[in-house]
Structures are given as structure tokens and as C-alpha cells.
Amino acid sequence: MFERGEIVLAKFPFSSLESSKRRPCLILTKGDSQEDFIVAFITSAKLPTHFNFSIKMTPQDKYFLESGLKVESFIRVDKVATLHESLISGAIGRISLTVKEEVFTKIKVLYGL
């Protein structure tokens, strides 16, 4: 249904698991179950410069329009969740090959792979 590199709108849980918020997320891969997807959090909140595992996407980027995002945003590869497809409203866009490579490079560094 959804593919790696797509940006979707989904109910993403807060780290406390007490609540969730509908927000854009990046599909990283499918889970073991056909209905599960591993996603990375996307935020428009300004991040401190010491956050090493975020990828900034701005309206000035060549492929920003394809993302479906409306404002400058950050993909947080350190904030991931496995979500059932019922929590995903639908796809709004996708990231470029360059951003996809940066995402997976940062994941490798984060997990020491």
C-alpha cells in the first residue's frame, strides 16, 4: 500500500505514549506484518543545531514540492514508530533520492551499522 520514501499523514504517538497527534511521517519500511509500517516523525518545529539525526527540508529545495509538505520541516530519524496502516490517513508526497540517501545514512550512523 505505502512505499519507502513516501510522506504520509498518520496518528504518531508522543514518546510518553499518553497521546498522539496527526502529523506527517516518512515511511521507512514495512514491518513484519503486512499492515505495519515503520515511520519517522516529521516536524516543522525549529530544532537545536546539536540534533544530529534530523534532515532539514525547505521550500527552497529542488524537490520540496514533491514532498507535499507546506513549510520547512525536519525528518527525525531518531523518532521512529511502527504504525498499523489504520493509523495512516494517506500519502501526501515523497522525498527525493538525495534526501532518501541522507535518511538512510543517518539511520546507519544512529544505530552504528
Residue 87, domain extent:
6-111
43 within a domain of the structure (yes/no): yes
Q: What is the mean pLDDT of residues 96-110?
A: 95
CATH number assigned to the domain comprising residue 53: 2.30.30.110
pTM passes above 0.75:
yes
Q: What is the mean pLDDT of residues 56-83?
A: 94
State the cell numbers at 5.
520514501
- d(CA 105, CA 70) in angstroms, rounded, equals 25
Q: Phi and psi (nearest 5°) for 19?
A: -160, 175
Backbone conformation region of residue 112, classed left if phi is above 0, alpha if psi is from -120 to 50, else beta: left
Q: What is the mean pLDDT of residues 14-30?
A: 81
Strands of 1-113, DSSP E = 6-13, 20-30, 36-43, 54-57, 73-84, 88-94
Handedness of CA 63, 68, 69, 71 (dihedral sign): positive
As for how many domains the chain has, the answer is 1
pLDDT band at 75 (very low <50, low <70, confident <90, very high): very high
- Mean per-residue pLDDT of the chain: 91
What is the model's pLDDT at position 16? 59
pLDDT band at 1 (very low <50, low <70, confident <90, very high): confident
1 within a domain of the structure (yes/no): no
Q: Phi and psi (nearest 5°) for 86?
A: -70, -20
